[in-house]
């Protein structure tokens, strides 16, 4: 049954053919902001009660139908804590029955019981993500703002394995946990995951108070992530640091002394996998960035290019998601790398990287400003053109 479903999705999606100007690769819907944790980086500044303005179940079904009709393969129900909504099972099943790969990110609280995880598995959920930001209770619980969160995360991971649900771990790196990368990576490996999503902090929401890493630290982390990704068979996906793609291409196209070959910007296969282990959710076939292959719907239906780029472009309650994603000037601007400013605008990697649009906006107020934490110095425009010829 499970294999049939994967085959069906596989036939239906030719992921590499998805045109990001028409269809996002992934849609994130923040189904609620309610959450019992108080994480230090929380983009949503989550609260512990449900907002009465949340999209209803019926509005959610309509949204899921529209996402499916756009040809988007992956939909993530995020939060807050998505399990705060009793209809989460119906929402996941609705999307899965349409053929969407559905994923969710429950908070590790006492609500995340074996029974809950079992029910999630029964809905045909493709993947469950848990957050882990430290290698031990002291570091993780301080970050998450609630004692016991670390133990509950490990327990949640165990439940996922018990019921056979592919497990993803999400980790947000900032100055706070930069030094314990190796220990976190080892723990992620030990947890037998199919997917590790590594977020680079964007200073919005409560995350504004956290200290960011420097451009040198970004590069150091890229180096570690690149080596680590070669050792493991699961997907290591980087979010909000698209210049990791530049780093990987640089490593994989290093020339021998005296060797001459044309400059080529093409994403290596390690960054583009249709499916992860066991048919789990894969990696985008092309570079995804805010508004370009990616769209975020807030709990009240506002349409943003990303959860980390909270610029409203309309609301699903009174507008078409497809039309806004395809035609809104903000989305069109974000998909035009030739309009990037500063060094990103003259960089030969701008079509597959382009820097984090969310971080540029958070730190400068300009969605097209250059990435604040990239060490790369592109050759001047004239040089670049010569390299590309």
Q: Which is nearer to ligand SF4, 63 or 346 (CB)?
A: 346
From the CB of 378, what's the least distance to ligand SF4, in Å? Answer: 6
From the CB of 345, what's the least distance to ligand SF4, in Å? Answer: 8
Tell me: does residue 328 bind ligand SF4 (CB under 6 A). Answer: no
Tell me: does residue 286 bind ligand SF4 (CB under 6 A). Answer: no
Q: Which of residues 352-371 bind ligand SF4 (CB under 6 A)?
A: 353-355, 370-371
Cα dist from 379 to 71, 342, 349, whole Å: 38, 12, 11
Cα gap 168→175, rounded to integer Å = 23
Q: Which is nearer to ligand SF4, 122 or 250 (CB)?
A: 250
Tell me: does residue 378 bind ligand SF4 (CB under 6 A). Answer: yes
Structure tokens that stand for 310 in this block: 């909270």
> What are the CB-based long-range contacts (under 8 Å, 24+) for 47-56?
50/84, 50/85, 51/299, 51/300, 53/299, 53/300, 54/85, 54/299, 54/300, 55/29, 55/31, 55/297, 55/299, 55/300, 55/301, 55/316, 55/317
From the CB of 223, what's the least distance to ligand SF4, in Å? Answer: 15
The pairing of beta strand 101-104 with beta strand 235-239: unpaired
Tell me: does residue 287 bind ligand SF4 (CB under 6 A). Answer: no
Looking only at Cα atoms, what is the longest distance across the chain? 66
Of 15, 63, 64, 347, which lies in the binding site for ligand SF4, with binding defined by CB under 6 A?
347
Structure tokens that stand for 319 in this block: 């507008």
Strand runs labelled E in 90-246: 101-104, 127-131, 167-173, 195-200, 235-239
Q: Which is nearer to ligand SF4, 117 or 353 (CB)?
A: 353
Tell me: does residue 221 bind ligand SF4 (CB under 6 A). Answer: no
Q: What does the chain come to in residues?
A: 389
CB atoms within 10 A of CB 256: 6
Q: Which is nearer to ligand SF4, 203 or 355 (CB)?
A: 355
Cα gap 32→49, rounded to integer Å = 9
Tell me: does residue 25 bind ligand SF4 (CB under 6 A). Answer: no
Q: Which of residues 245-284 bind ligand SF4 (CB under 6 A)?
A: 246
Of 243, 299, 328, 357, which lies in the binding site for ligand SF4, with binding defined by CB under 6 A?
243
From the CB of 218, what's the least distance to ligand SF4, in Å? Answer: 10
Tell me: does residue 240 bind ligand SF4 (CB under 6 A). Answer: no
Residues that bind ligand SF4 (CB under 6 A): 243, 246, 343-344, 347, 349-350, 353-355, 370-371, 374, 376, 378
């Amino acid at each position: 049954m499970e294999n049939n479903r994967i085959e069906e999705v596989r036939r239906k999606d030719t992921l590499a053919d998805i045109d990001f100007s028409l269809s996002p690769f992934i849609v994130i819907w923040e189904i609620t902001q309610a959450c019992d944790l108080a994480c230090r980086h929380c983009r949503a500044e989550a609260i512990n009660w449900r907002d009465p303005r949340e999209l209803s179940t019926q509005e959610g079904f309509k949204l899921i139908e529209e996402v499916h009709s756009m040809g988007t393969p992956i939909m993530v129900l995020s939060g807050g804590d998505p399990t705060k909504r009793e209809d989460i099972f119906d929402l996941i099943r609705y999307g899965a029955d349409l053929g969407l790969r559905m994923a969710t990110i429950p908070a590790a609280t006492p609500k995340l019981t074996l029974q809950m995880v079992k029910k999630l598995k029964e809905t045909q959920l493709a993947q469950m993500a848990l957050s882990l930001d430290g290698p031990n209770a002291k570091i993780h619980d301080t970050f998450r703002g609630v004692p016991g969160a670390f133990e509950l995360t490990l327990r949640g991971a165990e439940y996922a394995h018990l019921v056979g649900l592919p497990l993803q771990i999400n980790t947000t790196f900032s100055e706070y946990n930069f030094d314990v990368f190796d220990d976190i990576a080892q723990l992620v490996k030990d947890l037998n995951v199919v997917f590790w999503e590594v977020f680079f902090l964007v200073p919005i929401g409560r995350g504004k108070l956290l200290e960011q890493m420097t451009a040198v630290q970004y590069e150091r982390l890229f180096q570690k992530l690149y080596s680590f990704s070669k050792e493991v068979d699961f997907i290591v996906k980087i979010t909000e640091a698209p210049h990791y793609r530049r780093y990987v291409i640089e490593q994989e196209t290093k020339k021998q002394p005296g060797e001459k070959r044309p400059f080529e910007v093409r994403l290596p296969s390690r960054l583009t996998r249709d499916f992860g282990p066991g048919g789990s959710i894969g990696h985008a076939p092309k570079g995804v960035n805010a508004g370009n292959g990616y769209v975020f719907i807030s709990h009240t239906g506002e349409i943003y290019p990303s959860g980390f780029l909270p610029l409203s472009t309309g609301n699903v309650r009174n507008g078409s998601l497809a039309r806004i994603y395809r035609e809104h000037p903000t989305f069109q601007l974000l998909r035009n790398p030739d309009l990037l400013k500063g060094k990103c605008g003259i960089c030969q990697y701008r079509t597959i990287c382009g820097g984090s649009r969310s971080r540029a906006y958070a730190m400068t107020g300009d969605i097209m400003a250059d990435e604040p934490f990239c060490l790369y110095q592109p050759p001047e425009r004239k040089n670049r053109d010569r390299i590309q010829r």
